[in-house]
Copies of this chain bind each other. A is one copy, B any other.
Amino acid sequence: MVKKQKDATTQQRILEAARKVFIEKGMAGARMQDIADEAGINKALLHYYFTSKDMLFEQIFQQASARFIPHINEVIESDVSLLEKIEHICVNYVTLIMSKPFMPLFILNEVHKQPEAFLQRMWGGQKPKLHKLAEQIEHEVKRGTIKPIHPMHLFMNIMSLSIFPFLAKPMLQYMSKMSDKAYWQLMEERKELVSKFIIDSIRK
């Protein structure tokens, strides 16, 4: 009568294996056999739990991306200064990505393959309200507290500096000959630094 609790269920093992393989090879490159091997079972059992590869991918993707998207609207709509918002967003991004460093490339790829469908599913009604942030930026520009800048450039800068170093990690590591540990240390510093760069670049 006592159910096993300590071991992961087969279903959980499949989901974990699938996430790993899909993220590593993408939807097109992943093989059901790879996933079965990774989970320590056989292909037939995959189809017993998840009818098709598409279904399985859907599951993985939904779950992964839903948990991944930061609650950027909460920050945007919060009642704090622009500079504080920038700081929050940067720290949130870098921290989040450090916990799932492969997600950005995964998401970029799927968006690239079918932008509309993907992005709608991804945000489901809570798309970042960029215009609100833009208004605040323009307001500060008019007040003369920061340098003139197109809000989109500022937002691009925030995302670029936070996300790109993870996308390009293999390349940057290859170029610099840094160890994993050293690279990670750099990313740890970056949590604080990114917003500093941004703020220095718009401060008068």
Q: Which residues of A contact B (CB under 8 A)?
A: 24-29, 105, 108-109, 111-113, 115-116, 119, 127-128, 130, 147, 150, 152-153, 155-157, 159-161, 163-165, 167-168, 170-172, 174-176, 178, 186, 189-190, 193, 197-198, 200-203
Given A160-B161, A163-B164, answer yes or no on A153-B189 (Cβ-Cβ < 8 Å): yes
Q: Which of A127, A130, A168 has the most CB of B within 10 A?
A: A168
Inter-chain contact A111/B175, CB cutoff 8 Å: no
Residues from chain B with Cβ under 8 Å of A150 in the complex: 186, 189
Inter-chain contact A170/B115, CB cutoff 8 Å: yes
User: Mostly helix, strand, loop or mixed at chain A's interface?
Assistant: helix
CA distance A147 to B196 in the complex (A): 12
CB distance from A40 to the nearest CB of B (A): 24
Which one, B119, B159, B160, B168, contacts A174 given CB within 8 A? Answer: B119
Inter-chain contact B109/A109, CB cutoff 8 Å: yes
Residues from chain B with Cβ under 8 Å of A116 in the complex: 174
Inter-chain contact A108/B168, CB cutoff 8 Å: yes
Chain B minimum-CB-distance residue to A162: B160
Chain B minimum-CB-distance residue to A178: B152
Apart from A155-B172, A160-B164: 9 A-B pairs, beta carbons within 8 A: A29-B113, A109-B109, A111-B170, A115-B174, A127-B175, A150-B186, A156-B168, A157-B197, A159-B168
